[in-house]
Structure 1
Amino acid sequence: MQTALIYSSLLMGIAGGPHCVAMCGAACTALTQSPQTPYAIYHYHIGRLCGYALLGAIATFAIQSIAWLSSYSSVLHPLWTFFHVLIFFWGVLLIIYARQPIWVDRAGRNIWGHVKKLSTKQGGHFYIGMLWALMPCGLLYSA
């Protein structure tokens, strides 16, 4: 069992590497490449490691709690189904219109403005790395 899990994780990492470079590479480079902060990329990646480790611990606890709760309560099943249906229809709308809704685009631009401000502060690249773990990534979360 463990060997199969290790090999499947390795294959997902190898196959997903180009996806990660294409989706996040430009943004990471834009944030961390500056003559004033030559070690920003290292602070950023250390922050990412810490952020993903923290979210992994939180997810582990949350999933255990939800699994325990769902075995004793059927209240969560309709809510779980509702969110799956909601995300499915969001995907259908993305296919039809080939763009995000305007409010999502505005929210993303607003968040990017805050991230750029944070990058100029002392230790900001570390915190940006930690916050990067909150970026929605289907490849990462499906793993």
Structure 2
Amino acid sequence: MSESVLVTALIVGLLGGVHCLGMCGGVVGALTFGLKADIQRSRFRMLKFQLAYNLGRILSYALIGAFFGFLGSGLMTLDGLLPIQVSLQMLAGLLMVALGLYLGGWWNGIVVIERFGQSLWEKLKPKVQKYSMVENYTQAWIYGFLWGWLPCGLVYSMLIMAMSSGGLLDGALIMLFFGLGTLPNLLLMGVFAFYFTRLARAVWVRRIAGLTVALFGLWELYSALALRVN
């Protein structure tokens, strides 16, 4: 796996953070304002709790990425590496284009994909609510780990990329870098909740992020087609 794939995952996570702020803003806000008053008064203590949430979330991404990478490696040994790798890479590119269109407010088709994860989330929801009143870092970490399973088209598109990597470790690394890319937005959202909620709803922010993610998707499609030709 080339370093450019990890860089792509990192940048998509950073730009897709606009989607994270919109979709997870309620979760982050609830976590922020659900903390004890003395914690809320200290930006430093609140930041440490937000780090615990997000480290748990990123770990869940890495574990899911490892699983999908393992699945991809199994598929590639069945029918040969190249055809399946190209197909998965093209699918990842198409999903990223669809996500970019969604972020920019031009097309909402990606929402249909998110519905596939609703059944799993409904099973996890009672466990997540159990940890909603966070009092220590361990509870925050567990909450974040469960939060990582929230249905999300952005995550699903990156999981296809992890599957196309064809390896357990590569899949985990792709999702790890993607999760690290989402970290700045959600950390800032947690500490400065009101300001970043307004920023995420700004049309120009969403359109710039959407256009950039869509371009990354087109690049993935081009790379897959070039791989097929060669």
TM-score (ref. length: structure 1): 0.58
Conservation of the 8 A alpha-carbon contact between 1:16 and 1:139: yes
Deviations along 1:71-123, one digit per CA (max 9) or x if unpaired, are: 29xxxxxxxxxxxxxxxxxx7xx7xxxxx8xxx69x74x75443222233662
Cross-structure match for 2:27: 27
Report matched runs for 1:1-143 at 5 Å: 2=2, 5=5, 8-9=8-9, 11-33=11-33, 34-35=35-36, 38=46, 39-69=48-78, 71=79, 108=122, 111-120=124-133, 123-143=138-158
1:120 to 1:14, Cα distance in 2 relative to 1, 3 A? closer
Counterpart of 2:127 in structure 1: which amino acid? H
Give the deviation of 1:15 after TM superposition. 3.3
Cross-structure match for 1:76: none
Deviations along 1:37-89, one digit per CA (max 9) or x if unpaired, are: 644322211111221121121221122123334x29xxxxxxxxxxxxxxxxx
1:67 to 1:135, Cα distance in 2 relative to 1, 3 A? farther
Give the deviation of 1:7 after TM superposition. 5.6
Give the deviation of 1:126 after TM superposition. 1.0
Query: When the two structures are aligned, how many residues end up with a matched partner?
Result: 112
Conservation of the 8 A alpha-carbon contact between 2:57 and 2:146: yes
How high is the sequence identity, in percent, across the aligned residues?
32
Unaligned runs of 5+ in 1: 73-90, 95-99
1:59 to 1:3, Cα distance in 2 relative to 1, 3 A? closer
Q: Distance in 2 between matches of 1:45 and 1:11?
A: 17
1:58 to 1:10, Cα distance in 2 relative to 1, 3 A? closer
Counterpart of 1:132 in structure 2: which amino acid? W
Give the deviation of 1:127 after TM superposition. 1.3
Conservation of the 8 A alpha-carbon contact between 2:124 and 2:146: no
Runs of 4+, deviation exceeding 6 Å: none
CA RMSD between the two structures = 3.3
1:12 to 1:42, Cα distance in 2 relative to 1, 3 A? closer
Counterpart of 2:156 in structure 1: which amino acid? Y
